[in-house]
Structure 1
Amino acid sequence: MRILLIFFLLLSSLSPAIADESSLTFGIFPRRNAQVTYELFSPLTDYLSSELGRPVTLDISNNFEVFWQKLTAGKFDLIHCNQYHYLAARKNFNFELIGTNAEFGKTTIAGSIIVRKDSGFNSLKDLKGKTILFGGGPSAMQGYIVATYLLRQAGLASGDYKEKYAINPTNAILATYYQQVDAAGSADNNLQMDRVKNLIDVSQLRFLALSQQLPQLPWAVSRFLSPELRMQIHEILITMDQTDKGRAALHAASLDKIIPAHDRDFDPFREITRTIRGEQF
């Protein structure tokens, strides 16, 4: 009886995602709104489930804060996230890297400050006293951390401009376009999203500042899964572009493919995050 009780306590201490090995939970950070994310990634989730031969549940968060809460609570077996989330998940929550996106014909991404072409702003220093809307909030890598890094390099300190947050990068871009704010913090690739191009004339926007090109958005898997299962997930995702069904699922998610990556590739993000947030990864 004592042995059974100890076993029960150990089992109950595991997160739901880990305790039930018959199903997996796939968490995606809210780069886009919830409905669009569901439409884009449902085919990929179904493909992964079919290839694994087990249920995979797509878990969508309405905002960055909710995604972070679920991640820290151990709700996810597999994540597609930004680079800050990955660094934290690797250090604190036992995740390992699978690969990164290739999208819009690129394998890299950059942080940026976006303004209207008719704004009259010629440099970041012109944003002193102005309102900048950061897409996703303080844990958004391109939309906040890298964008803020650009502002600091230009000599603008906290308090030199009005800092506001949008629920996602798309909303930050839209608010800038409609002149509700002066500038947006966002990834450069977000201007190429179909949803953005269908809603506004992106030719009326421009990059006031752009960071160096950096590694794309990562995919990571929990080390609490067995090594065999982790390897299986890795192989399925990395080779999706080699089958008709895989390519169809990638296309539905607006992805070209998922490419192999190494943790050391994320060292530039470690330095930027240390500078802006004071965190060591």
Structure 2
Amino acid sequence: MKTVVKKILGATLVSGAVAMAAVPVQAETLTFGIVPQQSAKKLARLWTPIFKHLSKKTGTTIRFATAQNIPTFEKRMRAGEYDVAYMNPYHYTVFSQKPGYDAIARQKDKRIKGIVVVRKDSPLKTLAELDQKKLAFPSPAAFAASVLPRAKMEQEGMNIEPKYVSSHDSVYLSVSKGFFVAGGGVMRTFNNTTPEVREQLRVLWSTPTYTPHAIAVHPRVKPETVAKLKQALLEMNTDPSGQSLLKTINFKGLELAENGDWDDVRGLNIRLLDNLLAQ
């Protein structure tokens, strides 16, 4: 009887071990947050194929994420909700402090500059003519699209009324429809907006250039995962499918980045998100 019981128990243990071995190991998953310069639907359409490509190359599942507007994105960044994030230059100088995002890549051979757009048929010719006007911006802390133009206007003694409309595309659409005489954006999103909107607009003024958006990782992401992600991002420059995907977001390529690359932005001493940083 004891022998039978042992055999039965042995068979149970063996079958259990086989069953455990048959259970697949769960693949690591990363949430990649994209700053909502454009609508969530549009961003998902542009970035999801890129994340599928990177998932395949790294063996890590990378999922698209964003927020309904930039202030919400900023709160989620401060809370460390994204494992990886694509953020504007000012955001990087803030969230590299808390919760400690670390830059790994940025757009290759690129400098970011803000623009102020008006309708193509607008009589306005100079930035000074926007004095006393109501202007559209994506959000208070949108670096090139809002912070830089408003700083210049303040420096010139201009008094404008800023209205925040949640995204770059919303700025372009509202200006094209005549809801505002002008609005702030950046060249990449301007070139990437719908042709029927873009063709109704022209660039009135541009800011000086700065280090562009950062791709940065949260400190909790394992070093070996970060290394694989860096390699996969760089390989997009030479892989035909990667090159095609980069073109869809108007990137000529990617290059590795480090924290000090954004010292030019830190030198502006922008304090807009100090309260959020202190939380």
Q: Taking structure 2 as the reference length, what is the TM-score of the superposition?
A: 0.81
Verify: 1:37 aligned to 2:40, yes or no: no
Task: Provide the residue aligned with 1:16 in structure 2.
Answer: none
What's the counterpart of residue 203 of structure 2? 206
- TM-score of the aligned structures, taking structure 1 as reference length: 0.81
Q: Is the 1:147–1:186 contact (alpha carbons within 8 Å) kept by the matching residues of 2?
A: no
Give the Å deviation of 1:276.
Answer: 6.3
In structure 2, how many angstroms separate the alpha carbons of the residues matched to 1:69 and 1:79?
13
State the alpha-carbon separation in 2 of the partners of residues 225 and 177 from structure 1.
42
Q: Which residue of 2 aligns with 1:138?
A: 140
> Could you tell me how far apart the structure 2 residues matched to 1:28 and 1:268 are?
22
Q: Summarize deviations over 1:65-93 as a string: whole Å, max 9, x none.
A: 22122212221111111112211121111
Instruction: Establish whether residue 82 from structure 1 lines up as the match of residue 76 from structure 2.
Output: no
Aligned to 2:128: 125
**Partners in 2 of 1:70 and 1:94 — Cα distance?**
13
Aligned to 1:53: 59
The 10-residue stretch of structure 1 (261-270 or 87-96) with the greater mean CA deviation from structure 2: 261-270
Q: What are the residue-to-residue correspondences of 1:164-203 with 2, within 5 Å?
A: 164-193=163-192, 195-202=193-200
**Equivalent-residue separation in structure 2 for 1:96 and 1:278 (angstroms):** 18
Retained in 1: the 8 A contact 2:145–2:184? yes
Larger Rg: 2
* Number of residue pairs matched by the alignment: 251
C-alpha distance in 2 between matches for 1:215 and 1:201: 28
Q: Provide the rounded CA distance (Å) in 2 between the counterparts of 1:52 and 1:192.
A: 30
In 1: Cα distance, 2:273 partner to 2:50 partner: 36
Give the letter aligned to residue 277 of structure 1.
L
Corresponding residue number in structure 2 for 1:112:
115
Alignment of 1:6-25 (within 5 A): 22-25=28-31
Q: 1:264 Cα shift?
A: 2.7
- Structure-1 residue corresponding to 2:255: 259
Kept after mapping to 1: 8 A contact 2:37/2:189: no
1:128 is displaced (CA, Å) by 1.9
Structure 2: gaps (5+ residues): 1-25
The CA deviation at 1:251 is 3.0
- Cα separation, 2, equivalents of 1:21 and 1:39: 24
Rounded Cα–Cα distance in structure 1 between residues aligned with 2:267 and 2:120: 31
Coordinate RMSD, CA, aligned: 2.3
Task: Supply the distance in 2 between the matched residues of 1:21 and 1:153 (Cα, whole angstroms).
Answer: 52
Q: Closer, same or farther in 2 for the Cα pair 1:188/1:200, shift >3 Å?
A: closer
Query: Structure 2 CA distance, aligned partners of 1:150 and 1:279?
Result: 21
Partner of 1:226: 222
- In structure 1, the residue matched to 2:272 is 277
Shift of 1:44: 0.8
Distance 1:123 1:199, change over 3 A: closer
Measured after TM superposition, the shift of residue 134 of structure 1 is 0.7
Query: What residue in structure 1 maps to residue 11 of structure 2?
Result: none
State the distance in 2 between where 1:247 and 1:117 align.
33
Q: Distance in 2 between matches of 1:167 and 1:228?
A: 36
- The letter of the residue matching 2:194 is V
Tell me how far 1:240 sits from its aligned partner. Answer: 1.2
Following superposition, the deviation at residue 278 of structure 1 comes to: 8.1
User: Which residue identity does 1:212 align to in structure 2?
Assistant: P
Counterpart AA for 2:132: G
On the 8 A contact 1:98/1:260 being kept in 2, the answer is yes
Distance 1:189 1:57, change over 3 A: closer
What whole-Å deviation, never above 9, does each CA across 1:44-77 have from its counterpart, x for those lacking one? 1111111121222111222112212221222111
- SS at 1:91 equivalent: coil
User: What amino acid does structure 1 have at the position aligned with 2:203?
Assistant: R
| % identical aligned pairs | 22
Q: Distance in 1 between matches of 2:127 and 2:146?
A: 15
Contact 1:250 1:257 in 2 (8 A): yes
